[in-house]
Amino acid sequence: MHTTKYVFVTGGVTSSLGKGIIAASLAKLLQERGFTVTIQKLDPYINIDPGTLNPYEHGECYVTDDGAETDLDLGHYERFLNIPTSQANNVTTGRIYQSVINKERKGEFLGKTVQVIPHITDEIKNRIQILGETGNYDIVITEIGGTVGDIESLPYVESVRQMLWEKGEENAIVIHLTLVPYLAAAGELKTKPTQHSVKMLMQSGVSPDILVCRTEHEISDDIKRKLALFCNVKQEDVIQSIDAETIYDVPNLMLAEGLDKVVLKKLKLTSKQEPKLLTWNNFLQKHKNPKHQVEIALIGKYIELQDSYKSITEAFIHAGSSHETKVNVRWIHSESLTPDNFEEHLKGVNGILVAPGFGDRGIDGKIKAVQYARENNIPFFGICLGMQMAVIEFAKNVLGLVDAFSTEMKSDCRNPVINLMQSQEDVTEKGGTMRLGAWDCKLVKNSLAYEAYQTENISERHRHRYEFNNEYLQQIELKGMIATGTNPKTGLVEVVEIPKHPWFVGVQYHPEYKSTVLKPHPLFVAFIKAALKQSKD
Ligand code: GLN
């Protein structure tokens, strides 16, 4: 019988140590060794999913093929592993409680008092095992969000404790990620915070099997020995994770430290092959030694927190590497673009990307940026709201429909070139109610999109409520903006282009979610190519 093994990743000392990247790097190495691996993120907050969160809270909301709105770490998992994730890969406390409460209302607990232990912890354990039970994975890596010691993490740590006991030591292990800070005044790396966070974990009945220690300086063997002694692990189980130049270095760093080896040893697994990371290192080599440079303006309203556009900036890195090109991003706040200054802000860029977004803040700046790209033949890429702004700009300035707008920003506008889908009209709840997940699209041959994808039938992920209003399609096409991609069933416009422009593409979907190291997204690759050409001309 196929037994799935479980690896839990907890975090200590502080947040933002990069548990997601460590989990993804380990998974990458195990995948290279021939194992099937997936990663799951458990988030201790009470929102059902991050779909209703402002990007300033936790950065970008990532979307899976099955329409789950998830934590941005799932983006890293997909970019590293090149396999899709799903709703089951991200679970929040809100979702756990929601399903327990739903069961309680149905009477499923047969009169029992419903409690954190065992009902909440059982639900957490079920969610962890759902992925294992598919039989698709040799190893499931589960990342516990937050930091041990947080009140809200306690039920998760207890669930891990129970699973370690139930599965047995060969089938479930814990990696604890901690910080080993360097005190400049003392000239020393300090182990005490790690000792305390391990103690905290042990108070909940969980002893880590492996310590991964984030550090700015090399951790000497002496320090490793000290950490091992005081944290009850073997010295070989203390893995250094030194600050890296790029997140894409981390699999190599973990390979050099032997993280994958100690994990396999503990899980009593023998690997079919050594990790080679051939395609990975080829990508990395080109990424680190670019022969060209381009500058892309990224226009958005959340640019103070660049994590809000994580998948877009990573897609630039993937596409840039494929052209041996460094993509420099000129971050432009849409609110700072005015009719008086937009030219000054955008001058000299080789491409303009207008980002996804919601609401009317900064909308005029986005429209100005589209106009500048269109009139000056600068490669333009509009994503979701960016595509909608491209349509509005075209309707206003080329068709002369001065009051053209989206009903999202102006519900009573006279020319709603972007409006609400009928199926959205009666929707009142905000959570999980947009057009979400993968939808098919058929491309027009000889279009820029077709040229990029090299195929007619594609499927891309969505996250929006508003759509191109087909009542305006004919007039818009007559003036030179063409719908080159449509949903074959609904007729909804998915891609618009201006054939007279060197490279002007707007997409209603989010291509950035599907760009990975192994498969840079074709539209990003084509956009960077156009920007490169622009820079040479
Ligand atoms: N606000 C727009 C809509 O809901 C665009 C959404 C987005 O850019 N993700 O249709």
pLDDT tens profile 497-506: 999 999 999 9
* Total residue length of the chain: 537
Q: What does R_g of the chain's alpha carbons equal in angstroms? A: 25
**Annotation says 464 is catalytic:** no
Sign of CA dihedral 462, 357, 483, 492: positive
The yes-or-no verdict on residue 85 having pLDDT over 70 is yes
Strand partners, 143: 9, 41
Query: Is the pLDDT reported for residue 2 higher than 90?
Result: no
CA atoms within 13 A on the CB side of 485: 28
- The preferred substitution site among 301, 361, 405, 408 for testing ligand 1, maximizing ligand atoms within 8 Å of CB, is 408
Distance (Å, whole) CA 280 – CA 255:
13
Q: In the numeric block, which tokens belong to residue 489?
A: 């069933």
Structure confidence by residue, pLDDT tens digits, 4-27: 999 999 999 888 899 999 999 999
What number is the average pLDDT over the span 40-64? 92
- Nearest ligand 1 atom to alpha carbon 386: 8
> How many A from CA of 163 to the centre of ligand 1?
41
Pocket of ligand 1 (CB under 6 A): 356-358, 384-385, 408, 463-466
Q: Is the peptide bond before 118 cis (omega within 30 degrees of 0)?
A: yes
* Centre of ligand 1 from the C-alpha of residue 355, in Å: 10
Q: Looking at residues 341-351, what average pLDDT do you find? A: 95
Q: How far is the CA of 80 from the centre of ligand 1 (A)?
A: 27
Band (54; pLDDT cuts 50, 70, 90): confident
- CA geometry: angle at 382 spanning 307 and 442, to 5°? 115
Own/partner pairs for 166-172, CB < 8 Å, 24+ apart? 167/6, 169/266, 170/5, 170/266, 170/267, 170/268, 171/3, 171/5, 171/6, 171/267, 172/5, 172/6, 172/7, 172/8
Q: Which residue's C-alpha comes closest to atom 5 of ligand 1? A: 385
Cα 144 to middle of ligand 1, angstroms:
30
Q: What pLDDT sits at residue 216?
A: 95
Q: Over 70: is that where the pLDDT of 40 sits?
A: yes
Q: What is the pLDDT of residues 432-465, one digit of tens each?
A: 888 899 999 999 999 999 999 999 999 999 999 9
Whether the predicted pLDDT of 210 surpasses 80: yes
Active site residue 510: yes
Query: Looking at this protein, which amino acid is placed at residue 219?
Result: I
In the chain, the amino acid numbered 108 is E
What was the pLDDT predicted at 427?
84
Residue 1 has pLDDT above 70, yes or no: no
| Ligand 1 pocket, mutate which of 309, 358, 408 (most atoms under 8 A from CB) | 358
495: Cα separation from own chain's centroid: 22
Tell me which of 384, 393, 408, 501 is the catalytic residue: 384
Q: Which atom of ligand 1 is nearest to the CA of 355?
A: 8
CA of 356 to the centre of ligand 1 (A): 6
Angstrom distance (rounded) from CA 96 to CA 118: 13
pTM value is 0.95
Q: Catalytic one among 60, 158, 257, 512?
A: 512
Nearest-CA residue for ligand 1 atom 8 is 356
From the CA of 508, how far away is ligand 1's center (Å)?
A: 8
Mean pLDDT across the stretch 393-417? 96
Task: Give the pLDDT of residue 423.
Answer: 81
Say if CB 216 and CB 249 are below 8 A apart: no
Q: pLDDT tens-digit profile of 170-191?
A: 999 999 999 999 999 999 999 9
Give the chain's mean pLDDT. Answer: 95
Residue 384 falls in the annotated catalytic set: yes
